[in-house]
A and B are shown apart, each in its own frame.
Chain A
């Protein structure tokens, strides 16, 4: 039997009158890095919003570690072991890097020894948070910011990490660093789910690939296969010129 970290089956969800996810099925195996790709509006971010509890699914189930999390609050989901690294600035700009990382452990603040252990663990995985502990988060470059965001998410030792476009706006060097960190996480038994717009880059970060289009999963498979699939380029850039009228 496969060891599944997360199972989404028949999930429908949307905003207002519209439905974005239309019967989505998704399975994530423990210890894998899966990347969701797809053109804008395919519903990638909505998948994240459903998993993290920001959007309640209208139909279908979301199982995490065998338990239904479909109706839980974002706080409950966070504590159950799903951490999120969002796309937009999520750091506290006027606080130091150390404080930002420390706040990642807000939910375990009463257990001082555990907090210390986690800080040590995170320091080992992301050394820059110790090296530059006293710098203010607002002055960091995009790549450094991303590392701090990931470090902060790791403070709760999550079993599943959701990362929304981790390579967004980063130079190749920083992307390589993020990729390295993602792999380290997976080696430690964590499951990682990424969203990437950039297909090949995403597949390079991941072991598994999922292609979404119009609220559904179009293709799944191992990352290399997805990256080479010629259909995807068409999905993104369109076919030969044909006026939409």
Chain B
């Protein structure tokens, strides 16, 4: 970790910031330069803040400048009322922005929806209207004169320069902390695959709303100061959509999702804007230029400058040196001696060992005119390996999805450890000890294998969100789990680089990090080669020996029959038979379900 500090990507920006810190003293007669840099700081602050919700979590906001305006008005109104420098109201500006963001976020960010981007525009325009119409408080469309600072006039803009600079530094620190925290990891997971994130225990709603609120705070803080710097606030200036354009553009050009990209972009856009103003002047020209740059960036530089440059550099560096090749079939030997039981042991109090770990009662699920599951009741005994099989279309996947929470059954109940979880959120199920894998793996492709493993969360708490991404015992545990699975060599690889079979094993390892009482495996053997199937079977048995209950939905009947203690066979949306593998194998009904009824052969062909 310390070695990382010496890398150019950390050193260069720190050196540049140091230059900015001494600039006003090095160039005492630099009033104009300072004023330009103040705008740069402001843009960099906003772009970095925006980055938290739109860069990390991938939820695009087009009206984020509303929080700058809220900060500006907070400073102006309270500064006047209390007769103090709005400068001192910076924290209150931040709080006001955070409160509004919380309300908006709670309403709009509960589901994965396109409504968010639209509401952000509507919120901006609403505040413009509010400011114009609440004349008694805001002065209407004429705006307010903001109380001026009490410091000596000959200091010029220097104090502003340093306060904006300080807010920028704090914002960068905020973003850096978030990016390196579990919150940041969770947000990137949400951007990658929100549905999957929920299955590993990430409370996506809380995460998104938190990111949204945090992203508003730098805006509010900077706004309180910016109003004073400008000397007046009015609705069109404070809640300008053009400001949103600038900051979106800044983050996009620099590289959203990175720490320094939005900062760099802020400087670029502010300089470009200054150039456009001094050379052509009109607002219309600026709108046109910014629009064109936005189109060109989206089309030709979608990742932004910094990520593009660093991937070019990486490519050049790797030229000549041997290309890192991943043997897509290789898995090291499993390490059975690793005490996997201790690593995944779950201390859940007050559960009667005799209660079935998972039970469904009278589940019915219809799709249009098709009844996929027609009243199924079954139990999964604690400590068993249970199989759920049935011909295609028998409803087993639908039933599986009702257990995991992907579908809400039309009627019936799902019980985990005897408690009703039918209506629980997917992440709550994960917290309660229900883990699942996917038939087509859904690892977070932009993350390394290790990052994928430390992403799962056993609960939602503020302390955990704030904790470092690699803090606590999780990393150690993740490494041991990888070792146990024979995957240790892939720790630093991107999940996308692995073969499908390897990804399946990594996904199982990921679920183990939840310390699940029961693991639901969705066709674990489909699409992987026989050797890997053998390894998988071995892992499943080992986990089971250590007390983990496993439910397998699978097409590979020989595998299920050789692995399971108990098998439920579904046909036509109902339980056909439940029993031991031997009973199932020899049951005429099962043979008929798969191979067809004997008597049909007697029907002569036409």
Contacts and interface: CB of A to CB of B under 8 A. Distances in A.
> Is this pair of chains taken from one and the same complex?
yes
B81 interface: no
A232 B391 CA distance: 16
Contacts of A183: 605-606
A141 B605 CA distance: 27
Nearest to B573: A169
Interface stretch (A63-71, A117-125, A236-244): A236-244
B370 A145 contact: yes
Contact of A187 (B595, B597, B606): B606
Contacts of B561: 237-238, 241
Interface stretch (A1-9, A53-61, A75-83, A196-204): A196-204
B370 A224 contact: no
B291 interface: no
Contacts of B606: 183, 187
B392 interface: yes
Contact of B594 (A223, A236, A243, A245): A236
A136 to B, nearest CB: 9
Nearest to B370: A142
A168 B392 contact: yes
Interface residues of B, number: 43
Contacts of A241: 561-562, 581-582
Interface in A182-239: 183, 187, 197-204, 207, 223-224, 227-228, 232-233, 236-239
Interface of B: 328, 368-370, 372, 391-394, 499-500, 526-527, 533-534, 537-538, 541, 555-559, 561-563, 572, 581-582, 585, 590-591, 593-598, 600-601, 603, 605-606
Bin the interface of chain A by size: 35 or more
B605 A200 contact: no
Contacts of B582: 241
Contacts, number: 116
Given A200-B597, A200-B598, A245 B537 contact: yes
A199 B595 contact: yes
29 contacts: A17-B328, A39-B555, A40-B555, A41-B526, A41-B527, A93-B368, A142-B370, A144-B369, A165-B393, A168-B392, A169-B572, A197-B392, A198-B594, A198-B596, A199-B594, A200-B600, A204-B601, A228-B601, A237-B585, A237-B594, A238-B561, A241-B581, A241-B582, A243-B562, A244-B534, A244-B538, A244-B559, A245-B534, A245-B537
B567 to A, nearest CB: 11
A139 interface: yes
A140 B595 CA distance: 27
A238 B560 CA distance: 10
Interface string A154-198: 000000000001001111000000000001000100000000011
B556 A41 contact: yes
A244 B393 contact: no
B558 A238 contact: yes
A139 B371 CA distance: 11
Interface of A: prevailing SS: loop
B597 A138 contact: no
Contacts of B541: 245
B595 A238 contact: no
Given A139-B368, A197-B392, A244-B559, 13 more contacts: A39-B557, A41-B526, A41-B556, A141-B370, A169-B370, A197-B594, A199-B596, A201-B597, A204-B596, A232-B595, A241-B561, A241-B562, A241-B581
Contact of A237 (B372, B499, B538, B591): B591
Contacts of B394: 169
Contacts of A138: 368-369
Contacts of A207: 605
Contacts of B572: 169, 171
A240 to B, nearest CB: 8
A233 B533 contact: no
Contacts of A142: 369-370, 393
A106 B368 CA distance: 26
B369 A140 contact: yes
Nearest to A137: B368
B538 A197 contact: no
A140 B368 CA distance: 7
Nearest to A165: B392
Contact of A242 (B370, B562, B594): B562
Given A198-B596, A202-B596, A238 B368 contact: no
A216 to B, nearest CB: 15
A190 to B, nearest CB: 14
A133 B337 CA distance: 66
A228 B585 CA distance: 18
Contacts of A169: 370, 372, 392-394, 572
Contact of B369 (A141, A165, A171, A199): A141
A242 B572 CA distance: 29
A199 B527 CA distance: 22
A16 B527 CA distance: 12
